[in-house]
Amino acid sequence: MSNVIAVVNHKGGTGKTTTAINLAAGLTRYSDVTSSCLLIDMDPHGCATSTLLGKLDGEPPARSVFDVLRRAITPQDGITSTIYDENIDILPANPSLESMAKTQIHDRLSKVVASLSTSYGWIIIDTPPDLGVLTQNALVAADYALIPTQCNGLAVPALRQMMTVIERIQERQNMWLQLLGVLITMKDGRTPLQKNVRKELGNIFPAQDIFKTIITTNIKIEEAPANFQSIYAYDSGCLGASLYRDWIKKEFLKKHQKLEKKKVERREAVEAGAIEEEE
């Protein structure tokens, strides 16, 4: 099974962290795959880290993904359990991670992920709002890219750029990376999607790559992280919980299964020599 998912979009505030943490919690609840999940926080701001470790202020974690990437500690020694969910561990972020952004090391996280992948059913990587080294590391390490986005005129150009980066990484560094899909988030539930924006989105992505579920704005989704809880633990009956739950059960897991099948077929073709594998 290939279950490493990078949650990416270099536009800021598109619901990456919110989706990453609620996806992690949803997968431990609703997926058949072994329920344990690791969240790797590649954003130096560490919002996912604060929520999962239950610390909004205070000292950053003493051991973090920064120490793992600079090879000061082993990946296993960087991992911490969370107060957020007993089935979710975290490789936390630290503000020092920012200094990695100036390096040229694009594939170091993939080695870390490879050494941890047998210990977890799912690995979710949250990324910062830029296309720098940290996001690239996540895409080189991942099996799947998931793009949360708002659906307005300002969001669309960023998506075009995001796809160019994904395609470049598929060509040069990670031929197994697949786009899991685009998830529209934070939509005002009172207004319909702008037709022209939907059309533009359709010009960039085939229809099957845009999830039908739309995550509308919901105050409970915003409140849950401050209580160090997933949306399902905070208020399982609220609209936000049912939107994320339905998306995971009815779309995410099915799409994942479909792409896994595609990957197996491609692997067989590579083994048979019909497709060339990268170095």
Ligand X SMILES: Nc1ncnc2c1ncn2[C@@H]1O[C@H](COP(=O)(O)OP(=O)(O)OP(=O)(O)O)[C@@H](O)[C@H]1O
Binding site for ligand X (CB under 6 A): 12-18, 43, 47, 129, 185-186, 215, 217-218, 221-222, 225
Do residues 104 and 133 make contact, with C-beta atoms less than 8 angstroms apart? Answer: yes
Query: Nearer Cβ to Mg ion, position 39 or 116?
Result: 39
Length of the chain: 279
Query: Nearer Cβ to ligand X, position 2 or 248?
Result: 248
Which listed range, 8-16, 71-79, 88-96, 158-166, lies at the site for Mg ion (CB under 5 A)? 8-16
CA distance 269 to 141: 22
Pairing of strands 80-81, 88-91: antiparallel
CA distance 113 to 3: 11
**Phi, psi values for residue 154, rounded to 5°:** -75, -25
Query: Nearer Cβ to ligand X, position 190 or 279?
Result: 190
Residues 13-32 that bind Mg ion (CB under 5 A): 16-17
Residue 7 CB, nearest approach to Mg ion (Å) = 8
Residue 270 CB, nearest approach to ligand X (Å) = 34
Residue 131 CB, nearest approach to ligand X (Å) = 12
C-alpha torsion angle, residues 30, 21, 231, 260 (rounded to 10): -30
The partner in contact with residue 218, picked from ligand X, Mg ion, none with C-beta cut-offs of 5 to 8 angstroms by kind, is ligand X
The site for Mg ion, by CB under 5 A, has a size of 2
List, in sequence order, every residue forming a beta bridge with 113; answer none if it has no partner.
none
Query: Nearer Cβ to Mg ion, position 161 or 194?
Result: 161
Residue 177 CB, nearest approach to ligand X (Å) = 20
Query: Nearer Cβ to ligand X, position 17 or 87?
Result: 17
Query: Nearer Cβ to ligand X, position 2 or 41?
Result: 41
Residue 124 CB, nearest approach to Mg ion (Å) = 12
The partner in contact with residue 64, picked from Mg ion, ligand X, none with C-beta cut-offs of 5 to 8 angstroms by kind, is none
DSSP one-letter string for 197-262: HHHHHHHHS-GGGEEEEEEE--HHHHHGGGGT--HHHH-TTSHHHHHHHHIIIIIIHHHHHHHHHH
Give the closest residue to 239 by CA, choosing from 222, 220, 257.
220
Give the closest residue to 151 by CA, choosing from 209, 197, 189.
197
Residue 197 CB, nearest approach to ligand X (Å) = 17
The partner in contact with residue 44, picked from ligand X, Mg ion, none with C-beta cut-offs of 5 to 8 angstroms by kind, is none
Number of neighbours of residue 179 by Cβ within 10 angstroms: 19
Residues near Mg ion (CB under 5 A) are: 16-17
